[in-house]
Amino acid sequence: MNSASSPVRWGILGPGNIAKAFAGGVAHSRTGRLAAIATRNPGRPGLAEAFPGARVVEGYEALLRDPDIDAVYIAMPHPSHAQWAIRAAEAGKHVLCEKPMGLTAFEAEAMIHAARKAGTFLGEAFMYRLHPQTLKLVELVRSGVIGEVRMIKSSFGFAMPGFMPEHRLYSNELAGGGILDVGGYPVSMARLIAGAAAGQLFLEPDKVRGTAHLGKSGVDEWASALLRFPNGIVAEVSCSISLNQDNVLRIFGTTGRIEVADFWYAGGKEGGTGKISIIRPGNGSEIVEVAESGWLYAFEVDAAGDAILAGKQEFAWPGMGWADSIGNLTVLDKWRAAVRLEYDVEKTERRVNTISGRKLGPNGTAIPKRRIPGLARPASVLALGFEDFRTFSSGSILLDAFYEAGGNLFDTAFVYGAGKTEALLGDWLKNRGVRETSVVIGKGAHTPLCYPDVIGKQLTQSLDRLKTDYVDIYFMHRDNPDVPVGEFVDAMDAEVKAGRIRGPFGGSNWTRERMDEAIAYADRNGKQRPGALSNNFSLAEMLEPIWPGCVTSSSDEWKAWLTARQMPNFAWSSQGRGFFTDRAGRDKRKNEELVRVWYSDRNFGRRDRAVELAARLGKSPIHVALAYVLAQPFPSIPLIGPRTLGELDDSLRALDISLSPDDLKWLDGVK
């Protein structure tokens, strides 16, 4: 990076119309200078005229390697944003990315993760957020000029000349349509105003309901959504690419309303006077003018430049910081899900590369592996559960990262996501070609269908979803004490003999007594004995079941049994579901589940010691809690459920902690 007194040297990836608007903003900024434009077609006519003074660089990688470039503006179509933002961060370049930051909130999280690791700036280019008119609007709402805000209505809609399949806005391949291209504007404004009314920087809706018309190419040509916020505000937002709308922002309060036309343009692209109308029925109206000579796109250039020169990694408010961008895309994700809009570029057959655009790398070494009795191949010391994901494009981000870090153990169940989790993992295993280097945990026979004859039927469906002919480990998801345990052993042993279970089987949420009885039955009758458990196990002992039928193995009696048997336990809720984070505390009693399941003097004593040890090690208490599970004197394999790459990396920090038997006793409070 050049010195703080020198301008930020910008390069542009992609030479489209929005790139030209940004170049004009750079030319009229106080912090930036346009140094280069990257294109795959350097001979394209008009580049010199559109980007005066900028070097034309052939290829995006060449621009990222250029030592005379400090920051890049990503002006390519939506599907390319994540790949090139991540590669730019890896190259040490700051990034301003045209909206939407990614196709989904999951993509944006991955982009932010890359910037966080690289120490670089990443911002989403909602230019209106940096214009003084937006701040003035927020100030008016906060002042109570229209009383208490009750409703927001906003649109961004226009009509293309006709259906143009070659145009990016009608291209499913390029994630066209209105929701991603212009729907983010009214959504971001609604969240900003709802936040202003609540005394916050922005606010997330607690309900999103959407609808849309999907046209010939499958993209949304016009769409609307309703957003409800926790403070009671309701927002109606709409967008279109085939329909002209009035594009007026309306904020309704108890004593009046505010109206702003085309708020995203403020006073104009090249400066001018913006007008905010305050309408009070029966009490007159007024117009608040915001005169500004600065160019619209220059404000975002300077806001990014100020952050970069100050060593900041995200926009200062009212620019869209990272949490703001994630929140906005989360709403767009829900809107798209409501209208079942998944672009072809998001589907399994098209997602053959990782989020960075590269082929999946080799199974790494950051996550060690261990031998587990009965398994043919070593398994990673951590197992990944991912039941929150519903699409391949979102789930594959985490699956790829876990695998490249060394993870190869995956936890699924017949009931997770009504089968979507198994199908997603199956798609990923096939797409990436890693089934034979992976270890798959299957679970079935969940209450109320906890019967021996269900096991084979559900396993057939699971294997079909997983696109494989076997699982490596199998657990009954619950026990049914009304059924003789031998019948369950017989059913699972039959699947072993059929080759559909090729490793240990056992029980999830089974008691010691039933496991002992099952093992004895198997030994008497020449069956494969149950060889694994998947019960709750944590530094904090579960006081009562989180869900009906759950069993904890954290008691002293359980630890002695597991050690004597050397029974592998695949531990769920291994980090106490937040008990070792700031969400818990002796004086924090709002979370009913935490209080009911974990709050006891003994557990808080363990938590206190975890906090103390974490401070000595430079870690967090949650890392100590995970290390505790890993360090047990029996095979203990934690199931982790990170939702983002940042959460995954944070979990891996526990692998640096080595706890001795004395450490375990001290954490337990054994003297």
Name the pTM for this structure: 0.95
Say if residues 185 and 98 touch (Cβ distance below 8 Å): no
d(CA 164, CA 314): 37
Domains of the chain, residue spans? 8-126, 128-294+324-348, 360-668
Judged on CB neighbours under 10 Å (0-12, 13-18, 19+), 47 is middle
CA–CA separation, 203 vs 197, rounded Å?
Answer: 9
| Exposure of 12 in the CB half-sphere (CA atoms within 13 A) | 32
- Tell whether domain 8-126 is in CATH 3.40.640.10: no
In angstroms, rounded to a whole number, what is the distance separating the alpha carbons of residues 438 and 403? 9
Give me 470's structure tokens: 């076997």
Q: What is the pLDDT of residue 3?
A: 54
d(CA 498, CA 507): 19
Distance CA 474, CA 455 (A): 10
Structure token pair of residue 580:
């070792």
Residue ranges, the chain, pLDDT below 70: 1-5
* Helix residue ranges per DSSP H, 241-368: 296-309, 322-338
Helix orientation angle between 485-497 and 512-525, rounded to the nearest 10 degrees: 60
β-pairing, 379-380 vs 383-385, is unpaired
| Domain range 128-294+324-348, CATH architecture | 2-Layer Sandwich (3.30)
Q: pLDDT for 403-459, tens place per residue?
A: 999 999 999 999 999 999 999 999 999 999 999 999 999 999 999 999 999 999 999
Task: Write the pLDDT tens digit of every residue in 184-206.
Answer: 999 999 999 999 999 999 999 99
Is CATH 3.20.20.100 correct for 360-668? yes
How far apart (Å, rounded) are the C-alpha atoms in residues 540 and 544? 12
Do residues 553 and 569 make contact, with C-beta atoms less than 8 angstroms apart?
yes
Q: 448 preceded by cis ω (within 30°)?
A: yes
